[in-house]
Amino acid sequence: MNVHPLKIGGLTTPNNILLAPLAGYTNAVFRRMCARLGAGLTFTEMVSAKGLCYDNEKTKDLLFVTPDYEGVKACQLFGSDPEIMRRAAESVHLAPFDLIDINMGCPMPKIYNNGEGSALMAKPELAAKIISACKKSGKNVSVKFRVGLEKGKIIAAEFAKVCEGAGADLITVHGRTRDKIYAGEVDCAAIAKAKSAVKIPVIANGGVFCKADADRLLNETGADGVCVARGAMFSPWIFAELSGMPKPDVKRLILTQIDDTLELFGERFACVFMRKMCAFYIKGLSGAAALRTRLFACASVEELKETVSNIEF
């Protein structure tokens, strides 16, 4: 793929390969690891604007960035009230962040039925007000959305214009409709129309699990970069593949992630979270089902590390 720096408003990223916000996964350790592997931009998990305004501790925890993270700091916010979104964007909690990404693509019922995430695509005037409100913070703003809400109602190009008109500095388009969640083919033609409709950078998202997937997505959409989501959960070393860096020693990488997660989040979280991550990492290996059973039987971090040490990646 054509790897190059990406200009987002007043920011410039090292490259145009992005790690998507992934609820429950893109914590500080995972983001730092992906950045070191070659991701040009990483986002926090989606953060509730209301939670920040009401000083919710669990919400604030999602914003933690390791002191040695050297990349552009980006936070993804979700909400449907322009004033609350503005207050969150201007809050002290987001002071360390260079970029605010507004979630207008989440398809999950809990978010959608509350009028947030992809539900905002049905309300372009409200969506524009939210973007404009966040821009008042003085920060660079991006928007992530889908090609539409359902088959036969593809509105990616029109919504892209709404975002640009409201002041967005970049958009990321997920190539599936809301009703498909994460299943089905990516609509490259719809992303291409969004790209043609605006002058701001457009990032293509959906179905990237290897370099061939990224190449196809860029070739068929003309997008300015790619955003990797579930592909990073199964193999974060995909960023090394896409950016042209050498593939890391996978076993050493995982063991380091376990140690770093333990140091930052403690034994209980590290054991539960890394069992789940390791189950993703072994996909495709011989005897993966039996390995998965062994991983989830681990009752401590040390036991988990011993199990991982005996896996041939």
Question: Is 15 or 151 the better-scoring residue by pLDDT?
Answer: 15
φ, ψ dihedrals at 36, nearest 5°? -70, -25
Residue 208's Cβ-side half-sphere holds a number of Cα atoms within 13 Å equal to 30
Long-range own/partner contacts, residues 83-86 (CB < 8 A, 24 or more apart): 83/133, 84/49, 84/50, 84/53, 85/49, 85/130, 85/133, 85/134, 86/133, 86/134, 86/136, 86/137
Residue 6 reports pLDDT greater than 90: yes
How far is CA 24 from its chain centroid?
11
Helix (H) or strand (E) holding 11: strand 11-13
Residues in the chain: 313
- Give the whole-angstrom CA distance, residue 119 versus residue 271: 35
Q: Which residues pair with 48 in a beta bridge?
A: 78
Tell me: pLDDT of 70 over 90: no
Q: Determine the pLDDT at residue 184.
A: 87
Quote the CA–CA distance of 244 and 241 in Å, as a whole number: 5
- Closest CA relative to residue 256, chosen from 243, 244, 270: 270
| C-alpha distance across the termini of the chain, in Å | 26
Strand, helix or coil for residue 19? strand
pLDDT per residue as tens digits for the range 97-144: 999 999 999 999 999 999 999 999 999 999 999 999 999 999 999 999
Q: For residues 49 and 88, give the distance between their C-alpha atoms in angstroms, rounded to a whole number.
A: 5
Furthest CA-CA distance within the chain: 55
The pair of structure tokens assigned to 254 is 């995982």
Q: How high is the mean pLDDT of the chain?
A: 96
How do 202-205 and 170-177 pair as beta strands? Answer: parallel
Catalytic residues: 106
pLDDT of residue 200: 98
pLDDT in tens, 173-230: 999 999 898 888 999 999 999 999 999 999 999 999 999 999 999 999 999 999 999 9
Please give the model's pTM, rounded to 2 decimal places.
0.95
By the 8 A CB rule, do 3 and 38 touch?
Answer: no
